[in-house]
Amino acid sequence: MWNKSLVLRQRGLAAEGLAGTLEAGRVGSHPLSQASSIGNPGRASAGAMRREFTAISVLSMLIAFMAGTVICMQITHVETPSGWEVSASVLWTLEAAIFGTAVYAWRPAVSLVGWVLGIAGLTLVRVGLTVAAAAGLTAMSGGETIYPAMQNTADAVPRVSAILFSAMICYPLRLFLPERAPRRPADARRFAESAAVKSATAAAAAEGGVLIVTVKDRGATVEDESRRAAETYQAPPLPVPDMEGAINLPASAILAQLPREMVTEKALAVADSHDVPIPLEAILGQLREARVVVSIAQVMEWLPSRVRKALVQPAELTLHEDAVELPLNLVVTRLPPEALELPPPSPPAWADVGTSEGVVFATTQ
């Protein structure tokens, strides 16, 4: 469960293009500390961790406690070498420092409260070990000698062993330490100050001046169609040349534009050897629109009879209303040159640069 949630997070991050993204809160943050929105596996994984603790960790804690107690009992007689004696206050301080470091190493995101709790818990377990060791020794001596736990606490050697075992005992409990809230970065709405741009700028300086910032494409909002229509430019019509005649297009190219349900194998076979004459008057007025659209009824009219008879007409097709687009590349390349004749050039006034100095850019070879 834990591994699955980790993989899901990583896939989500890869899909979003984590590198260089401008999304607030994600730049520079550790992937494992990010909340994931994929089925909320964060909460699921915490629950899974707690179930694991309940299943396995209690047993290991008990075993470690018993072993720690025995070891402390065994080494309680080890005397501290002369010259190595350390005062109790120094030992307490060192112990707190060791426990504090251990808690932070186990849980880097631990909150201050969690850190203090961790140190207190470790200290409590460590004291419990020495108390248990002292009680065990007292019991073994038949009560003749009472071993005060505090006496053992003062000795460095058993204390160190108690510290180690208390760390082993408390390690599974680290999961329950509260974590601090994820730090939200300041609202880096200023593009130039965002971490992504700064890191990319540094890279750009090394690579020679191209700053490419990859951003997530969230898509554009659909614009109001009526506004778009109002802004559409209506080009002034060019005079349509008064020309008669027709151009011949391959019948197979025409059939390729018709609805597939109309065209039979026989029609395709027959079409190979036929051309279709398309009147110029049906084409010239549409050239400026970069497409030539004619109704299917018109196409049927122009097709040779052999080809027309091989076609079928689906019931739902309306010949006069449905239209097809003729292949522009075939139409234009067959036009007479005068069909594309333009009026004399009429550029605006700004096109006349007169004797103005030309602009020159300094280029490399």
Q: From 177-185, 249-257, 297-305, 324-332, give the range in contact with other proteins by CB under 8 A.
A: 324-332
Residue closer to other proteins, measured from CB, 89 or 356: 356
Alpha-carbon distance of 30 to 24, in angstroms, equals 13
Is residue 337 within the footprint of other proteins (CB under 8 A)?
yes
Alpha-carbon distance of 173 to 176, in angstroms, equals 6
Residue closer to other proteins, measured from CB, 186 or 349: 349
First to last CA, the chain: 59
User: Rg of the Cα trace of the chain?
Assistant: 42
Residue closer to other proteins, measured from CB, 85 or 207: 207
Enter the tokens of residue 331. 């139409």
Phi first, then psi: what are they for 85, rounded to 5°?
A: -65, 140
Alpha-carbon distance of 48 to 346, in angstroms, equals 77
Is residue 358 within the footprint of other proteins (CB under 8 A)?
yes
The amino acid at residue 40 is: N
Is residue 206 within the footprint of other proteins (CB under 8 A)?
no
Contact yes or no for 251/304 (Cβ under 8 A): yes
Closest CA to 46 of 105, 103, 5: 5
Q: From 68-76, 109-117, 180-188, 224-232, give the range in contact with other proteins by CB under 8 A.
A: 224-232
* 49-78: contacts with other proteins (CB under 8 A): none
Alpha-carbon distance of 58 to 2, in angstroms, equals 20
Alpha-carbon distance of 121 to 124, in angstroms, equals 5
Among positions 6, 44, 48, 213, the unique one binding other proteins when judged by CB under 8 A = 213
Is residue 351 within the footprint of other proteins (CB under 8 A)?
yes
| Number of residues counted as binding other proteins (CB under 8 A) | 55
> At closest approach, how far in Å is the CB of 294 from other proteins?
16
Alpha-carbon distance of 278 to 271, in angstroms, equals 15
Residue closer to other proteins, measured from CB, 143 or 358: 358
Is residue 264 within the footprint of other proteins (CB under 8 A)?
no
Is residue 361 within the footprint of other proteins (CB under 8 A)?
yes
* 284-313: contacts with other proteins (CB under 8 A): 287-291
> At closest approach, how far in Å is the CB of 240 from other proteins?
12
Contact yes or no for 304/276 (Cβ under 8 A): yes
Q: Say which residues have a Cβ less than 8 Å from residue 266's Cβ, sequence separation at least 6.
A: 310
> At closest approach, how far in Å is the CB of 336 from other proteins?
12
Is residue 332 within the footprint of other proteins (CB under 8 A)?
yes
In the three-class reduction of DSSP (H, G, I as helix; E, B as strand; rest coil), residue 71 is classed as helix
Q: Which residue has the tokens 């007025």?
A: 285
Is residue 239 within the footprint of other proteins (CB under 8 A)?
no
Residue closer to other proteins, measured from CB, 3 or 221: 221
Please count the residues of the chain.
365
Contact yes or no for 106/176 (Cβ under 8 A): no
Q: From 1-9, 70-78, 282-290, 306-314, give the range in contact with other proteins by CB under 8 A.
A: 282-290
> At closest approach, how far in Å is the CB of 250 from other proteins?
16
**57-66 core/surface letters (b: 16 or more CB in 10 A; e: else):** beeebeebbe
Among positions 187, 217, 244, 265, the unique one binding other proteins when judged by CB under 8 A = 217
Is residue 357 within the footprint of other proteins (CB under 8 A)?
yes
Residue closer to other proteins, measured from CB, 109 or 332: 332
Q: From 103-111, 113-121, 139-147, 216-224, give the range in contact with other proteins by CB under 8 A.
A: 216-224
Contact yes or no for 188/106 (Cβ under 8 A): no
Q: From 28-36, 86-94, 149-157, 326-334, give the range in contact with other proteins by CB under 8 A.
A: 326-334
Contact yes or no for 324/297 (Cβ under 8 A): no
Residues near other proteins (CB under 8 A) are 17, 201, 204, 208-217, 219-220, 222-223, 228, 231-233, 235, 238, 287-291, 328-329, 332-333, 337, 340, 342-343, 345-354, 356-364
